[in-house]
Amino acid sequence: MMKPKPKMIAGEDTGLIKKAKFGRYATLQHPYKDMEAGDTIVLKKNTPTKDGYIQGGDYKVQQIGKNKYKIK
């Protein structure tokens, strides 16, 4: 089975960073391309942040579950 293609998100389209057992994450604030508002974006340890949000810019994400993506 092939992996889904990476997608792109804009950091400024995400909400406040939160913490969970699986790590830090943010949610999309509104639909973006073929992703839905509220989809979870899991951050890498070195993802740039500013004032509790993902820093603006484009990020590649890989789908890791239903409505769940991880920054590559």
pLDDT tens column, 14-71: 999 999 999 999 999 999 888 999 999 999 999 999 999 999 999 999 999 999 999 9
pLDDT value for 5: 78
Residue 22 amino acid letter: F
User: C-alpha angle with apex 30: 60 to 7, nearest 5 degrees?
Assistant: 20
Residue 29 amino acid letter: Q
pLDDT value for 28: 96
Cross-strand pairs, 53: 16, 50
pLDDT value for 1: 58
pLDDT exceeds cutoff 80 at 4: no
pLDDT value for 61: 95
What letter would DSSP give residue 68?
Answer: E
pLDDT value for 2: 63
What is d(CA 25, CA 16) in angstroms, rounded to the nearest whole number?
Answer: 8
